Amino acid sequence: MVGLQANATATLSVIENFIAVLRAQRTSSDPDTACGKGFENLVQGSQDWYATAAVELFKHPYHTMDNATFETEFQCWFANMCTSKCDGLKSLFDDRNADLTAKCQSVEADWLKIWKMFTPEEVKYFKKAYPASAINEESKPTISYKQAMETAKEINKKELLCLTLYTIDDECVKYKYIRLDRK
């Protein structure tokens, strides 16, 4: 019974800390730019590109509807990348599109195979720019700023990483539709 009370007390403490951080953020005078300028404010061509990517990248039978379940979160990340122009990262379309398409559309390849395709600069960008970070690293379980973004990342890591690389390789969306290798 004592152990149960200790766990309940620890959980309550984490929740109280989370609420305090949320209140502090809400009263902050800085606007929330986690989603860049917002998906709805992107040009129609960028929104069209995202719409094709959302269909093409969710091929695993267990994830086919996740593009709708986490639509807001994926649109947020996409808008963030478009607003920042992918931090000026260089497209590697010619070098990796065939392999990226094969792995992203395969039900056999896991997220780690996609992660290994990131350059060191892309890894740094993703870790810096993806809008989810732990509020208190010491708390267990970890509670994140933009918890829904963290959940989308953990459940659909492969699809999120594919979306990231395709966005970069399409020169931060200079095309109307996602460019997949169709060979």
Answer whether 79's CB lies under 8 Å from 65's CB.
no
Q: Are residues 161 and 82 part of one domain?
A: yes
Q: Are residues 114 and 143 part of one domain?
A: yes
**Count of the separate structural domains present in the chain:** 2
CA distance 82 to 39: 9
Answer whether 79's CB lies under 8 Å from 36's CB.
yes
Domain span at residue 114?
Answer: 33-169
Q: Are residues 163 and 118 part of one domain?
A: yes
Residue with tokens 């947020």: 76
Q: Are residues 39 and 26 part of one domain?
A: no
| 67: Cβ contacts below 8 Å, ≥ 6 apart | 54, 55, 57, 58, 74, 159
Q: Which two tokens stand for residue 74?
A: 């994926």
Answer whether 113's CB lies under 8 Å from 81's CB.
no
pLDDT by residue for the chain (183 residues), tens digit each? 555 555 555 555 555 555 555 555 544 445 678 899 999 999 999 999 999 999 999 988 888 888 899 999 999 999 999 999 999 999 999 999 999 999 999 999 999 999 999 999 999 999 999 988 766 666 556 666 688 888 899 999 999 999 999 999 999 999 999 999 987
User: Which among 109, 114, 104 has a CA at the least distance from the CA of 181?
Assistant: 104
Q: Are residues 110 and 42 part of one domain?
A: yes
Q: Are residues 128 and 59 part of one domain?
A: yes
Interaxial angle between packed helices 71-83 and 147-155, expressed in degrees from 0 to 180 and rounded to the nearest 10:
100
CA 55 centroid distance within chain = 16
Q: Which two tokens stand for residue 94?
A: 């010619």
